[in-house]
Amino acid sequence: MQDTLIRRTVALLAIVLMAFAAGCSTIRFSYNQGDTLLYWWLNSYVDFEGQQADVAKRDINTLFQWHRQTQLHDYAALLGNWQRQLAGNPTQADLVNAYREVRVRGERLAARAVPETTTLALSITPEQIANIERKFNAKNEEYRRKFMSGSTDKRQRARFKKSMEQFELWFGNFSSEQETALRRASDARPLDNNLWLEERIYRQRRILGMLREVQQKKLNREQATARVQAMQKELFTRMDSPERKAFYDTSIDQTTKYVMTAIRIATPQQKAHAQQRMQGWINDFQALASGK
């Protein structure tokens, strides 16, 4: 699954995911710097002015305090469940359920962030909306260059390289024979980067539309809150909408089959590497939840 400003005050979850991507030894450091990282990320889109910066930092800190105190033990428990499944014989249904568990936590975080998201939306100026739109456009062009240009083989290689970075994080190095099998499984998936770009642009337009509505209609806090909640609901339920359900269902099916290929061909040593990696994350989440 691939993929954006207001929706990603779910970006708080992105900080956790960035920590995952960085590896076990840096989760605690990355998370403890997460409020600063998230502020920089938001500022790269908005370009905060004056008091906006102080308010954004205050609200991000509030979100991180809530997240640390209430969510990290749950993340550790979720990883423990995945550990137990990997020690046995996980099925594709287990992977689909794991994806749904992550989605539930993303929705929970977005719902908690509604007050802070509303405060941000109420403060955004027309110039800042233009900044956000330019950043969206630049990111879309970057996506086109990386994943939509060149031959079919080039695009498949780019997608495969991205997925292998994640597999190697979990399992360590793969043999050439294993990589060949994984490349074959990767290439069997639909090469639908154009549809993923459509989804990115759809979400971006909804975010920009919400911000413009709040700004142009000068909505009060109650009205803006309702608008933010409506946008969140629309974006999170889009996967189940009639016009996109088949696409998302196929994507989840093909992605989980691909991951099952990696699990199936992994050696006992590679599975042990994944177990150790997850245990490191569990330890880090538990320590972070305890304030360390």
Domain spans, the chain: 7-289
* Own/partner long-range contacts of 264-268 (Cβ < 8 Å, ≥24 apart): 265/178, 265/181, 265/182, 266/171, 266/178
**What is the distance between the alpha carbons of residues 227 and 119, in angstroms, rounded to a whole number?**
12
Q: Which residue positions in the chain have pLDDT lower than 70?
A: 1-26
The alpha carbon of 211 is separated from its chain's Cα centroid by a whole number of angstroms, namely 22
**What is the distance between the alpha carbons of residues 38 and 53, in angstroms, rounded to a whole number?**
12
Is 190 in contact with 250 (CB distance < 8 Å)?
A: yes
User: Helix 51-70 and helix 34-46: axis angle, to 10°?
Assistant: 140
Q: Shortest CA distance to 3 belongs to which of 168, 139, 188?
A: 139
Position 22 scores a pLDDT of 43
The pLDDT tens digits of the residues spanning 94-138 come to: 999 988 898 889 899 999 999 999 999 999 999 999 999 999 999
Position 26 scores a pLDDT of 59
Position 212 scores a pLDDT of 97
Position 16 scores a pLDDT of 45
pTM of the entire structure?
0.85
178 to 161, 173, 183, 259, 272: CA distances (angstroms):
14, 10, 9, 13, 17
SS3 content of the chain, % helix, strand, coil (to 5): 85, 0, 15
